Amino acid sequence: MVAGMSDVSALFEPYTFRSGVQVRNRLALAPMTTTSADPDDNVSAAELDYIARRSAGVGLVITAVAYVTPGGKGFPGQFGAEHDGRLDSLRALAGRIKAAGARAVLQIFHAGHNAPPELVGGDVTSASDVPSTQAHRAHVPVRALSSDEVAAIVRDFGHATRRAIDAGFDGVEIHGANGYLIQQFVSAHSNRREDQWGGTPEKRLAFPLAIIDEVQRARAQAPQPFLIGYRFSPEEPQDQGLTMHDTFALLDALRERHLDYVHVSLHEYDATPRRGGDPDRTRLQQIAEHLGDTPLIGVGNIWTPADAQRALDLGATFVALGRALLLDPEWVQKVQAGRANDLRTTFTPADRDALTLPEPMWGVLTGFMLKDRLVTPAEAHA
């Protein structure tokens, strides 16, 4: 028996979501920015090859995030889901994932005040006119969305969900994490509104809950079981930013929506809270307890089978693998075969083709190396 492999069978147990979607194991490909779309913002052939290879072992694949409206594009090389002309692109993506045996989930978002102005016609918008907390965007003017515009964006999430259904995806994940528009509405730091979309903690939840309701309405037209997930970040460093107490209120509201799963965005899966909650217990444990019977995907610096198993032990229902699958696309197959000692732990500049990584993504990844570990752009800027 390989060291550290004595009790990881739980990682390979199948699961059926409340919507009826079935998966073969408890491992997911985490959503990771590839910056590799075609110039017209369709999914590129290189991106299809990248994701197809990493779909062969996991039960669930969550795609890189797609924007739902032109004003919500978040970075160069991002593919879109904002109009019906994207259906062929989305069908190709869903088809490659499902052909490898995994369930395909399209992650959808609006970047809000983190949108590069050159990608959104100079009109950077958010809940309020509060600039981005990203240092290189702090000087960019931000316009507060009108109430009508907010309602239109809610509908855009529903339209994107309908496209995901038409394209053959098995579900969508609403991206309410990592400081993008949905989180900007939830946070008192970025939401200074005094209308139905802000002003009290309850009203700051109105936007994500309206999106969930709209997505669920679109899901009602799906001919097959179709799952809905929601991703969130539990804390923010700003004085008025999110605390664990804010997150507990969000989780209570999400639990009432009977989602298929909730996906917590963490840098370290076993980290403890900074503000609010029990400082002596991990965020993952406390989040799982608040969610009750709503499944939880845990992520954050999971490299080894022991890391993945511990995430389950702390309360996660599923474990999302990010950098581990970038570094070793066959991570799941090796672990399941008892070959954890064969997992790739380093790479060289000559390994791009061997790892089936699109050239733009490779360029970004090789620019962010910390302590001999692969670090994603989001982590390097955190």
pLDDT one-digit tens code per residue, 40-68: 999 999 999 999 999 999 999 999 999 99
Tallying the residues shown for the chain, one arrives at 382
Q: What DSSP character marks residue 314? A: T
Q: Note whether 69 and 115 are within 8 A (CB).
A: no
CA-CA distance, 320 to 134, in Å (whole number)?
25
Give the span between the Cα atoms of 375 and 323, in whole angstroms.
Answer: 7
Nearest alpha carbon to residue 109 among 171, 181, 166, 41: 181
pTM given for the model: 0.94
Q: What is the pLDDT of residues 163-177, one digit of tens each?
A: 999 999 999 999 999
Residues recognised as catalytic: 180
pLDDT category, 263, cuts 50, 70, 90?
Answer: very high
Show me where the domains of the chain are located: 9-260+351-380
pLDDT at position 33 over 60: yes
φ, ψ of residue 165 to 5 degrees: the values are -65, -50
On the question of pLDDT at 278 being above 60, the answer is: yes
Note the pLDDT tens digit of each residue in 99-136. 999 999 999 999 999 999 999 999 999 999 999 999 88
Q: What does the alpha-carbon distance between residue 190 and residue 361 come to, in Å, rounded to a whole number?
A: 30
pLDDT of residue 363: 85
Q: Write the pLDDT tens digit of every residue in 187-246.
A: 999 999 999 999 999 999 999 999 999 999 999 999 999 999 999 999 999 889 999 999
**What pLDDT does 345 receive?**
86
Q: What is the mean pLDDT of the chain?
A: 93
Contact 11/24 with Cβ under 8 angstroms?
no
- 23 Cβ contact partners less than 8 Å away, ≥ 6 residues apart: 14, 15, 16, 17, 59, 60, 102, 103
Instruction: Please give the Cα distance from 134 to 143 (Å, whole number).
Output: 17
- Residue 89 token pair: 């692109």
* DSSP code, position 381: T
Q: CATH classification of 9-260+351-380 is 4.10.140.10, yes or no? A: no
